[in-house]
Structure 1
Amino acid sequence: MADSLGNGEIASRLQSAYPAFVSGVEGNEVVFKDGSRLPLSDGRDKPFDAWLADPDIRDMFRFKYPRGAPALPPARDFDPGRARNAQFFSKIYGDCRKPGFGSSLTTITWLPSKAAQHIQISRLNGVAEHLSAVSRELDALPAKFDVFLVPAAGGYVCRPIAGTAQRSGHGYGIAIDVATRRSHYWRWASGGPGGGHYRNDIPMEIVDIFEKHGFIWGGRWYHYDTMHFEYRPELLPPQK
């Protein structure tokens, strides 16, 4: 299920998703508005573990994200959006380990009428605006959905992904975890992926709202994390 996108399509997606930072793609380089460049591909054909541990920018598009699909058990190691190139994301969001990163963050009110919970999130690339739009729509859902959403487990946290050296989407301020009591995570399952069967209780009405506003869902991963939503508009281009 690899996604064979050409350089032109990748350039279009990155420019559309991050217009304040990305100028385009020239040859094998992503060009930024400040004139700096990063390699699009390192030329290596990576097995899954290497793809996750050290992805280049092209690797982020390896799997086509199945927007709008039913919540079915994914194929083995099908983790669309789980790989992030650290240099690219540090360029467009900053490095949370460095002084001054806090200036890139803001606070939104999660579900104003149902929770009025303060969530810290990035103010860059429209993350806060899109998450606020998600919050307003979720706030209007019937009360039966509240158990999945309140309280949210949190937004920005400067930390690596559990069991890896890779920075989490939370470390860039681009992710939110919804309520944990009806969520499932592969590391919590007996035997991990393949040993503990895929489980999900998150209703698709919630997933659809997040995806509509540019957030991918960890429930679409083989290494599932059903509470996790992450702003990755380059993987959710406008539907034609």
Structure 2
Amino acid sequence: MASHGIENERIVRLQKIGLLLAGFELLFSAIAARGQAISPDALIRAYPDQIAGRDDTGIIFRDGTRQILSDGKTDKSFDEKLKNASLIDQLSLPYPKGALTKPPGPQDDPGRFRNIAFFDKVYGDCDKGETQKRLTDIPWFTGKVRVTTVNGVAERLRAVAMEIDRLPQDIKRHAYPSAGAFNCRVVKDTGKRSMHAYGAAIDLNTAFSDYWLWRKAGYRNRIPYEIVEIFERHGFIWGGKWGHFDTMHFEYRPEFFDPGSDEKEQHSD
């Protein structure tokens, strides 16, 4: 009799797990139907030094800890995703490849949904001094910037600078002096940590920059696409492709350039 009771409990547990996995698949399918082109597997390929793999409900870090993909909330507003993004939310807006053919829409903000727990795990918590232990200074034209060494970000920015330096002067002058890289701060409109707080972002020359909070007349960009293309080739997304545009801003987000992404979903037009 006891063995039958144990077996019944096991069946109930398996049924509950099955329902949980089915619910997750429905959630992921619903997001995909709204235009998601990024699989959670992209995180594994983008951050291999930190992530060992995943199962149906979460990613598994190399230290054995796990983080769930979904918070189970399927009706979150745009602002709720900005302020409290799950990992699925973080992947829910595909990044448009190539030069923009039209300004981004007001809620076209690929990359602005950031799960802070994830990035704290990858780069460290700057409020605790963890991020600072992994920073280094690299040359940036007439000065230098401080960025993280995690995921090879520093080396990628060195490569970006070398390629930009080969551009004509009337183009490359938009890239310097830099307005800064590492800065342990939050984003103004969300109150959540900026990618600058992880040393994984850089701002270019403010003389040629436009920011949605500064410019009430609508979208404008003065950063040449030759510069944007170089950054993107090295895994950096550009704030000029956001409805809440920040044209001097670039941040390292290689998951958005995952080769497994559906290219048809990536075009801005």
Secondary structure in 2 aligned to 1:181? helix
Counterpart in 2 of 1:138?
A: 164
CA separation in 2, counterparts of 1:176 and 1:184? Answer: 15
Does structure 2 retain, via aligned residues, the 8 Å contact 1:71–1:220?
A: no
1:199 equivalent to 2:220? Answer: yes
CA separation in 2, counterparts of 1:99 and 1:184? Answer: 31
Does structure 2 retain, via aligned residues, the 8 Å contact 1:127–1:231?
A: yes
Q: 2:243 aligns with which of 210, 219, 222?
A: 222
CA drift of 1:182 comes to: 0.8
Does structure 2 retain, via aligned residues, the 8 Å contact 1:96–1:171?
A: yes
List per-residue Cα deviations over 1:56-75 (Å, max 9, x = no partner). Answer: 01111111100213262112
Q: 2:234 aligns with which of 171, 193, 213?
A: 213
1:44 equivalent to 2:73? Answer: yes
CA separation in 2, counterparts of 1:110 and 1:38? Answer: 36
Does structure 2 retain, via aligned residues, the 8 Å contact 1:152–1:177?
A: yes
CA drift of 1:236 comes to: 1.2
Partner letter of residue 225 of structure 2? M
Secondary structure in 1 aligned to 2:54? strand
CA drift of 1:50 comes to: 0.2
Does structure 1 retain, via aligned residues, the 8 Å contact 2:131–2:148?
A: no
Secondary structure in 2 aligned to 1:23? strand
CA separation in 1, counterparts of 2:210 and 2:36? Answer: 31
Q: Which of these two proteins has the greater Rg computed from alpha carbons?
A: 2
Q: CA RMSD in A?
A: 1.7
Count of residues paired in the alignment:
228
1:102 equivalent to 2:132? Answer: yes
Does structure 2 retain, via aligned residues, the 8 Å contact 1:71–1:200?
A: no
Secondary structure in 2 aligned to 1:176? strand
What stretches of structure 1 of length at least 5 have no aligned partner?
191-195
Q: 1:120 aligns with which of 146, 169, 183?
A: 146
Identity among equivalent positions (%) equals 46
Counterpart in 1 of 2:50?
A: 21
1:173 equivalent to 2:203? Answer: no
Q: Quick check: which one's helix share is greater? A: 2
CA separation in 1, counterparts of 2:86 and 2:127? Answer: 21
List per-residue Cα deviations over 1:54-95 (Å, max 9, x = no partner). Answer: 000111111110021326211221100011100000000000
List per-residue Cα deviations over 1:77-123 (Å, max 9, x = no partner). Answer: 11000111000000000000003432111111113xxx2x1100010
Secondary structure in 2 aligned to 1:135? helix
CA separation in 1, counterparts of 2:159 and 2:131? Answer: 24
CA separation in 1, counterparts of 2:185 and 2:222? Answer: 26
CA separation in 1, counterparts of 2:107 and 2:224? Answer: 23
Of stretches 66-75 and 147-156 in structure 1, the one that deviates more from structure 2 is: 66-75
TM-score with structure 1 length normalisation?
0.90
Secondary structure in 2 aligned to 1:188? coil
